[in-house]
Amino acid sequence: MVPRSSPPAPGLRPRARARPPAAPPGEVVPFDYAATFRLEGEAGRLHQAVINIGPDAGFVATAIGYGFDEARRRDLQLLTIPPANEPPVLGPLVPLKHLPAEALLSGFRFNPVLRRVQPAFAGKLEQLKTPEDISFLFSMVDTSTGRELQDEPTHNLASLGKSNGERPFRKLARPLFLGPRSSLRLQVIERTEGVRGELTIVLYGCHIYAPTGCPPGAGPRLPSPPEARVIPFDYVATFAMTGVPDNRLEGEILLNSDGEFVATSIGYGLAVEERGIDLDEGFLKGLSLATIQTIFPNAVQTPAGVDLGDIVNLAELPLGGFSLDALEDGIRLRPELARLAFLDNGNLATALPIALLRGTTPGGGLFERLNRPQDVAFRYAIFDTGRGRELQSGPLFNVAGLGIADGDRPFKQLACPLRFPERSTIRIHVEEIFGRGTLFLVFQGYKRFGARTGGR
């Protein structure tokens, strides 16, 4: 599968196609319906959204989940204003003492969008706010019957679990059937002051292309083709995440011709190229020994060059002391070592062991990158080209649709198995939010060799 970037375009939905052929009676297809809410950080504010079921199939909901994409980016204001004779850019010699302590603790980086259009070592810094737990009340009403699905608005933690995806998806006690052209109205009441972002609530289930109602049991099952040899099998799609918000990627999984593939679950993860931060000494070129000694007080001139000594004045350490790719990823003080970076008066340490700035320090150095696998964020859409249908009502936030990004959760189980005939394709669209590295999206299931794949 070869991913490729595509230029920004409204939404992630594939280009309009001719209406797919009518599905055979009784066909079931996994599908997710999502409702999104733009939270403004005003406790008590009410938001509403409607999920409309399509006209060509009923929908059976078997589970519900959610995720919150918090608006964490903030413009970073320096503590001091550069002199009038200095250019108003953030170059390699801006020292850490100009940055507020909050930015050092929560994290800061060069704005990735500006870095893309301004390749020189200059740009605009932004602070990444520490993520917060979200709190809200929600309720749902089946408008086709007029019935509410709870006796009063319920709290998100009580009914759905943590907002970061670190929990199993909440399974419904019984499948909920929504007929064609029906709708489900959702209401959300904010309870967290000052926290803004996009909330996504997802109903997981499957479309039923049949005139009958909800099938019995926890969910519909597909008949097993006769005398098919079955083995576990995974299909994998990879995407080169650039770390630039709103960048769009597209890829396809090409299924080979040795049998049909049945997907039963989906997993994902981000492989980052580098996590440590080492002291970058390149900014020292051209500086006088006196200037270097303001940063490294014990520095001495030797025949081989400048020996930096064993201590560093952290307040005078410039941004150039970190590699450019680390500043693009974002950096922060490692939480367990942050106390070492400050004096009793709250100012940055002036005589810190230089070994703490080395990425080779056991357990990691004083600073760490914000580009961690557990923090990756993106929206995705999956398109089944064999059927000519999308598998969700719109692009889904990864935590809401698949669970927490660090893998500490069960794999997302499809409400019903999804069959792909041999030589078909799965098309995937990804819209980046945060994170740089290789994104792996895995369709887990099994292959049927010798199964008849016609008559879909």
Is the pLDDT higher at 314 or at 126? 314
pLDDT of residue 400: 92
pLDDT one-digit tens code per residue, 178-209: 999 999 999 999 988 888 999 999 999 999 88
Determine how many CB atoms are found less than 10 A away from the CB of residue 347.
Answer: 12
pLDDT of residue 35: 95
Of 211, 238, 263, the residue that ends a domain is 211
**Residue 328 phi, psi dihedral angles, 5° rounding:** -70, -40
**Percent of the chain having pLDDT more than 70?**
82
Shared-domain flag, residues 137 and 152: yes
Q: Tell me if 145 is assigned to some domain.
A: yes
**Residue pointed to by tokens 């997907």:** 263
- What is the extent of the structural domain holding 135? 24-72+131-211
pLDDT of residue 363: 60
pLDDT one-digit tens code per residue, 245-265: 999 999 999 987 778 899 999
Q: Tell me if 108 is assigned to some domain.
A: yes
pTM value is 0.77
CA-wise closest residue to 201 among 71, 70, 65, 69: 65
Taking the alpha carbons at both ends of the chain, their separation in whole angstroms is 25
Residues sharing a CB contact under 8 Å with residue 339, sequence separation 6 or more, in sequence order: none
Confidence band for 347, pLDDT divided at 50, 70 and 90: very high
Shared-domain flag, residues 351 and 304: yes
Shared-domain flag, residues 64 and 187: yes
List, as one string, the DSSP characters of 214-260: PPSSSS--PPPPTT-EEEEEEEEEEEEEES-TT-EEEEEEEP-SSSE
Strand, helix or coil for residue 289: helix
Of 325, 345, 369, the residue that ends a domain is 369
H or E element at residue 266? strand 260-271
Shared-domain flag, residues 124 and 174: no
**CATH number for the domain harbouring residue 198:** 2.60.120
Shared-domain flag, residues 32 and 161: yes
Shared-domain flag, residues 61 and 204: yes
Shared-domain flag, residues 117 and 44: no
Shared-domain flag, residues 141 and 28: yes
Of 351, 369, 387, the residue that ends a domain is 369
Shared-domain flag, residues 186 and 117: no
Shared-domain flag, residues 148 and 182: yes
Q: Tell me if 237 is assigned to some domain.
A: no
CA dihedral 428, 433, 434, 439 (to 10 degrees): 0
Shared-domain flag, residues 31 and 139: yes
- 70-99 average pLDDT score: 69
- 46-75 average pLDDT score: 91
Q: Tell me if 283 is assigned to some domain.
A: yes
Q: Tell me if 349 is assigned to some domain.
A: yes
Confidence band for 409, pLDDT divided at 50, 70 and 90: confident
Q: Tell me if 57 is assigned to some domain.
A: yes
How many domains does the chain contain in total? 2
Q: Tell me if 412 is assigned to some domain.
A: no
- 409-413 average pLDDT score: 83
pLDDT of residue 31: 94
